[in-house]
Amino acid sequence: MARNVFYAPEGEPPISAGEFTFSDKYPVNSTNQPYSFVPSTEAQQLIDLIRNTKNLNIDIRPNSPESPEAVGGYYTALNPEGGHSDPDKRAIYLNPKTGSLFTLAHESGHALDPTLPKETMSEIQGKKNFVQIMSPYFGNPAEFLGQYLATQGPRGRLRSELEAQRYADDYYKSQGLEDSRSKEDLGVYPMDYIFKGVEAAERGFTVPTIPASASDKFYPDYYRSAEVFGPGGFSPVVRGDANTMVDVRDDYARRLMSLGLNKEYQDARRDQLKRAFELTEKTLGGATEAGKFIDKDLYLDIPASRYPLPISY
């Protein structure tokens, strides 16, 4: 089930959301470990605001034990208990070590976003029916890219993450608050979904030919590296068998060059990125450097995301 995940960057400590206390009678990271949460003064003000204006309680819980350490928090819109269909509350998960007020405000933005459940279901169905939806466009990279961004998650994720960033930013400004998180370029994180979505689509059109003996070793790493916030690269040299190494660098380079010289595709690519950037600026109401890589020729020119972890489903 899709979750809206927010990553905790390193740097100056931001305003705290509060503190978790765990029972020492259970193993560390136990799924059923009892806990209590005491919100900070600033977090309590946000909780009270949502209760008073939306008639919803905010139930703050620790991230699940399997969540990567870098995940600052998340919200699951489709959960029957604590999700959008719950009439009484919204369950927001925070990292017990790094969960900040800005993360809480960001996830609150998700929790109050009326479009999120429908958008989440659309992404799930799009991934489930990938071949049926995308196969008509397999021969046309330009059309494939537009359909991929629209049906496989990147465009919807961009919108929802922008909305969450906007909500957090508006809340901070309304309270006269500022910290290291609120001072970041808030457009970079949402735009990463589009950049990596483009990368994932391009990875499909530049897949090199691999002998059967090496396919099981190569393809998982190749496609995983193109996932949103997945690893930034893949190994172009893999072992075929005990006596053979398979090197795909030349084949991959030729395919990449062919896509790079496809003017129709490059125009479509640039148009998709510019549209995403315009939405980013419009939603956040200000300048952002999130679009500075739009005119790079191919995704290999774009630096790795600052949040290099996979989205959870």
Q: How many CB atoms lie within 10 A of CB 34?
A: 10
Same domain? 173 vs 132: yes
Whether 77 is in a domain gets the answer yes
Distance of alpha carbon 165 from alpha carbon 110, whole angstroms: 9
137 belongs to a structural domain: yes
Final residue before a domain boundary, out of 112, 135, 166: 112
Predicted pLDDT of residue 230 = 64
Cα(18)–Cα(192) distance, rounded to whole angstroms? 29
In angstroms, the Cα distances linking 261 to 12, 216, 254, 267, 297 are 44, 30, 11, 11, 9
pLDDT for 117: 97
- What's the pLDDT score for residue 239? 87
Same domain as 197, residue 54: no
Dihedral angle of Cα 267, 269, 275, 280, to the nearest 10 degrees: -140
- Taking phi over 0 as left and psi of -120 to 50 as alpha, with beta for the rest, 249 belongs to alpha
Q: Is residue 46 part of a domain?
A: yes
Whole-number Å distance between alpha carbons of 259 and 265: 7
Check whether residue 192 and residue 260 sit in a common domain. yes
Task: Give me the number of domains the chain comprises.
Answer: 3
Model confidence pLDDT, tens digit, residues 100-139: 999 999 999 999 999 999 999 999 999 999 999 999 999 9
- Residue 303 shares a structural domain with residue 159: yes
Instruction: Quote the radius of gyration of the chain (alpha carbons, Å).
Output: 21
Assess whether 288 and 178 both reside in one domain: yes
- Residue 226 in tokens: 């193109």
Average pLDDT taken over every residue of the chain: 87
Q: Which of 200, 232, 251 is the last residue of a domain?
A: 251
Grade residue 11 by pLDDT with cuts at 50, 70 and 90.
low
pLDDT at 62: 94
199 & 261 share domain: yes
CA dihedral 73, 78, 79, 83 (to 10 degrees): 70
The arithmetic mean of pLDDT across residues 302-312, rounded, is 35
Q: Is 90 exposed, middle or buried (0-12, 13-18, 19+ CB in 10 A)?
A: buried
Do 174 and 259 reside in the same domain of the chain?
Answer: yes
Kindly state whether residues 247 and 280 are assigned to the same domain: no
Q: By residue range, what is the domain housing residue 243?
A: 209-251
pLDDT of residue 311: 29
Enumerate helices (H) and strands (E) in the chain, giving the number of each: 10, 8
Whether 10 is in a domain gets the answer yes
Q: Could you tell me the end-to-end alpha-carbon distance of the chain, in angstroms, rounded to an integer?
A: 5
Based on the fold, state whether residues 29 and 151 are members of the same structural domain. no
- Assigned domain for 37 exists: yes
Classify residue 117: in a domain, yes or no: no
Same domain, 138 and 196: yes
Amino acid identity at 221: D
Q: For 270-296, how does the pLDDT look when each residue is reduced to its tens digit (9 = 90+)?
A: 999 999 999 999 999 987 888 776 776
- Taking the C-alpha atoms of residue 47 and residue 44, their distance in angstroms, rounded to an integer, is 5
Whether the Cβ atoms of residue 105 and residue 178 lie closer than 8 Å to each other: no
Q: Where are the alpha helices (DSSP H) in 176-262?
A: 188-205, 212-224, 249-260
DSSP 226-244: TSTT--S---SEEEEETTE
Select from 94, 112, 130 the last residue of a domain: 112
CB of 73 within 8 A of CB of 99? yes
Whether residues 86 and 217 fall in one domain: no
> Based on the domain organization, do 87 and 222 belong to the same domain?
no
pTM: predicted TM-score of the whole model, two decimal places: 0.86
